[in-house]
Amino acid sequence: MTTHKIEIYDTTLRDGAQAEGINFSANDKLKIIKLLDNLGVDYIEAGWPGANPKDIEVFEQAKSLELKHAKITAFGCTRKANGKAEDDKVLSELLQAGTEIITIFGKTWDFHVEHALCTTLEENLSMIADSITYLKNCGKRVFFDAEHFYDGYKKNPDYALKALSAAHQAGAERIILCDTNGGCLSSEIKEITEIVAKHLPDAVLGIHAHNDGDMAVANTIIAVQAGANQVQGTFNGYGERCGNANLCSIIPALQLKLGINVLGENLTKIVAVSRQISEIANKKSNNFAPYTGSSAFTHKAGVHASGVMKQSSTYEHINPETVGNERRILISDQSGLASIKEKISRMNLGIDLTNDDIRKILERIKNLEWQGFTFENADASFELMLKDVLNIKPKYFELKGFTVLTDTRGTGYLNTEASVKIKVGNEILHTVSEGEGPGHAVDRALRLALKPFYPTMEKFKLSDFKVRILDGTDGTGAKTRVHVETTDGFERWDTVGVSRNIIEATYLAIVDSLEYGLLLYKETPQNKFILN
């Protein structure tokens, strides 16, 4: 590892909160602050004091937080045009936040100065210098975000550099170069950052990139290589429009690719923190995100699985464990013997499988997937299928038939009733139950019959239900695939059913979900009957 120091400045709570669909509560923000601090982030921008009551509350409560590493920063802008810093409301509210560090942004693009601020270029330079000087005189450390700097430099380089010099000479400790519109190419970022580094050789530079051109991570990395020492971004790339530079990709790249010790051993926590922040934001995690996504180290093709098992670097650019992720081998009709062996090796079956056994399993998989089944996201159904092929699957019950009726009975209220006839051991049971729909009614009827034999089933709850039409050209007669997720409150498992009849497909997926739960709990019937 090199001793070159790169600061991580997180703006998830301010820039990230501007993403469509994200609305952090004050408590949410405090939770994220603790997560980022434990991870080892250097600076956490908690919001814009005075922008809303929520941020005022966050800064007030943050004063009592005992942080191990991170420093909280408050964000705002320079004083208004033709005003005085000491009379400026925004600057006053920044001071009231009580943070050691304040980050303010100012205009560096002449176009914005004249058409957004509607003031003169000279007045804008005074606004930058006056604001920083005032905050410094009040005992604060000040970082300066040079808004729209790269675009400003491309249009009027002399003025853009004058704006940076004004901030630097006024005492800003960090000069952060912003690609605010997110449209710059890496070659432009590199060239302009190197020019700034020569123009202000004793300044500590930073980079703040947006992702409108899908270049934010690459632009951030190349800015570091060109001389930037502070990296600004958000977790999971949250942010306005297309988002901000994703720290979940930037941090591993800096540490594992450039040898810059950013988080040290805490790098193994980044996947967990990424997913926890997704949960707090109420946003689904991006399965395909580099480094942190559940598919980032997932292999489907047989050739890939075989190569990874022999030497992981054949198809993985890093060891997934270095970021707290894991390797997954998917089972599909593209799987080879190596994929099947790898998958089975993790299941601890306690039996030795021959190559003939593996080939039988692979043949069954290909036949089922031809019918429309998929085991990529149905590990529970895969394990049950596997044990069935090997003749080691317990027979918990046997279906003798089921009926589903749906009608309004002249009341306008849609009523669904399911009856099931099943055999457990030597006993045949016939139960009837109503539900909100066919799947719900069948599930309830099955449980009603089975609970006296398997009390553990009470713990199993259906947590997700998805339906997909497989061959849309057949209209309402098309094959349907039903995917069910079940949980006992701790574990989760996924099952799948396929049929041209959606009720049968649902039944198959539900039966697998119940059988896998019983397998998980090593259940046996709680009565005198012995399973066949």
pLDDT tens by residue, 162-208: 999 999 999 999 999 999 999 999 999 999 999 999 999 999 999 99
Decide if pLDDT at 295 tops 90: no
Q: Bigger pLDDT: 320 or 349? A: 320
Decide if pLDDT at 257 tops 90: yes
> What pTM, to 2 d.p., does this model score?
0.70
Amino acid sitting at position 88: D
User: Any idea of the CA torsion for 309, 313, 319, 325, to the nearest 10 degrees?
Assistant: -60
Contacts of 72 (CB under 8 A, 6+ apart): 33, 43, 44, 46, 59, 62, 65, 99, 100, 101
Q: Residue 106: which pLDDT band, with cuts at 50, 70 and 90?
A: very high
For β-strands 415-424 and 480-487, DSSP reports them as: unpaired
Q: Residue 530: which pLDDT band, with cuts at 50, 70 and 90?
A: very low
Amino acid sitting at position 286: N
Q: Tokens representing 212?
A: 């409108």
Instruction: Give the span between the Cα atoms of 134 and 92, in whole angstroms.
Output: 10
Calculate mean pLDDT across residues 493-515.
89
Q: Return the pLDDT at 413.
A: 67
pLDDT tens by residue, 212-236: 999 999 999 999 999 999 999 999 9
Q: State the Cα angle at 489 between 35 and 25, rounded to 5°.
A: 35
Instruction: Give the span between the Cα atoms of 398 and 391, in whole angstroms.
Output: 16
Q: Tokens representing 386?
A: 């596997």
Q: Bigger pLDDT: 142 or 338? A: 142
Inter-CA distances, 338 with 230, 299, 307, 344, Å:
44, 11, 9, 10
Decide if pLDDT at 147 tops 70: yes
Q: Which helix (H) or strand (E) holds 45?
A: strand 43-45
User: What residues does each domain of the chain span?
Assistant: 7-281, 298-370, 398-520
Contact 33, 62 (CB under 8 A): yes
Q: Residue 69: which pLDDT band, with cuts at 50, 70 and 90?
A: very high
Contact 140, 181 (CB under 8 A): no
Inter-CA distances, 115 with 119, 120, 121, 166, Å:
8, 10, 11, 21
Record: fold of 7-281: TIM Barrel (3.20.20)
Instruction: Give the span between the Cα atoms of 234 and 190, in whole angstroms.
Output: 21
Calculate mean pLDDT across residues 152-170.
98
Q: Which helix (H) or strand (E) holds 206?
A: strand 205-209
Instruction: Give the span between the Cα atoms of 146 and 101, in whole angstroms.
Output: 16
Contacts of 194 (CB under 8 A, 6+ apart): 226, 227
Q: Which residues does residue 244 pair with via DSSP β-bridges, in sequence order?
A: 210
CA atoms within 13 A on the CB side of 227: 21
pLDDT tens by residue, 437-453: 888 898 899 999 998 88
Q: Which helix (H) or strand (E) holds 96?
A: helix 89-96
For β-strands 415-424 and 398-407, DSSP reports them as: antiparallel
Q: Return the pLDDT at 532.
A: 38
Q: Of 159, 175, 165, give the one whose Cα is nearest residue 208.
A: 175
Instruction: Give the span between the Cα atoms of 250 and 154, in whole angstroms.
Output: 25
Q: Please state which of the ranges 155-159, 221-225, 428-432, 519-523 shows the lowest mean pLDDT.
A: 519-523
Q: Please state which of the ranges 51-55, 110-114, 146-150 shows the lowest mean pLDDT.
A: 51-55
Record: fold of 398-520: Double Stranded RNA Binding Domain (3.30.160)
Q: Is 379 exposed, middle or buried (0-12, 13-18, 19+ CB in 10 A)?
A: buried
What is the average pLDDT value for the chain, to the nearest integer?
87
In three-state secondary structure terms, 460 is coil
Contacts of 35 (CB under 8 A, 6+ apart): 273, 276, 277
